[in-house]
Amino acid sequence: MIDPTQGGRGRTSVLFVCTGNICRSPTAEAVFRALVERAGLAQSIAIDSAGTHDYQVGQPPDPRAVEQARLRGYDLPDRFARQLEEEDFARFEWIVAMDMFNLSELEELRPRDYCGHLALFLDFDPRGKVLEVPDPYHGETEDFDRVLDLVEPAAAGLLAAVRKALSERDA
- 3 part of a folded domain: no
- 5 part of a folded domain: no
pLDDT score for 167: 87
The residue-averaged pLDDT of 32-41 equals 97
CATH number of the domain enclosing 131: 3.40.50.2300
pLDDT score for 1: 35
- 84 part of a folded domain: yes
Among 30, 26, 20, residue whose Cα is nearest residue 53: 20
Among all residues, which ones are annotated catalytic?
Answer: 18, 24, 135
Question: How many independent structural domains does the chain possess?
Answer: 1
pLDDT score for 170: 77
Inter-CA distances, 155 with 9, 87, 139, Å: 23, 24, 23
Q: Which domain holds residue 113?
A: 12-170
Q: Which residues pair with 15 in a beta bridge?
A: 48, 95
